[in-house]
Amino acid sequence: MNPANNNPNHNSGYRGLRQAVTPLLVALFAVSAVSGVLMFFHVKSVSELHIWASLALVPISGFHLARNWAAMLFQFRRWPVWAGLAVAAAFLAGFLLFAPEHHGPGGPHGRPNGGMPSEMAEH
């Protein structure tokens, strides 16, 4: 039994927020993951949804980490966490070093549709 449930001074709104953070985090991660896959395969134009869901993940993840900080510190004593962080850092470094440069809406040569004929761009 949680002692906070019996505390009359305990803020029940905060408790509700704490209980909602993990499901919200999971839902936003799912939206971000699915929209990212759709963007990768050019299935749908969901870039704005992906951006906003990903931006919403940042403060909610921060709240989740702060709430579970002791468990996080415990996890950092284990080698799989460090291995995962090393893989993620290597992936990020490789992407930043070797990814093509992003060009504006005019494409790499300043032409609309990246230089593609307008008939092809509409399809």
42: left (phi over 0), alpha (psi -120 to 50) or beta: left
Q: Mark whether 33 and 65 lie in a shared domain.
A: yes
What's phi and psi for 89, nearest 5 deg?
Answer: -65, -40
Instruction: Check whether 9 has a pLDDT greater than 80.
Output: no
Query: 50 and 20, same structural domain?
Result: yes
Q: What is the mean pLDDT of the chain?
A: 79
Domain range for 106 is 78-123
Provide the pLDDT for residue 22. 87
Domain count, the chain: 2
Give residue 10's pLDDT. 52
Task: Please identify, among 31, 46, 72, the residue that sits at the C-terminal boundary of a domain.
Answer: 72
Question: Which residue, among 20, 57, 22, 16, has the nearest Cα to 36 in the 3D structure?
Answer: 57
Residues 108 and 65 in one domain: no
pLDDT value at position 112?
A: 54
**Looking at residue 102, what DSSP letter applies?**
P
Residues of the chain with pLDDT > 90, as a percent, come to 47
Cα torsion through 80, 85, 87, 90, rounded to 10:
-160
Output the pLDDT for position 45.
84
| pLDDT per residue as tens digits for the range 77-104 | 999 999 999 999 999 999 999 887 765 5
Q: Is there a single domain that holds both residue 101 and residue 44? A: no
DSSP state, 8? T
Q: What are phi and psi of 111, to 5 degrees?
A: -100, 145
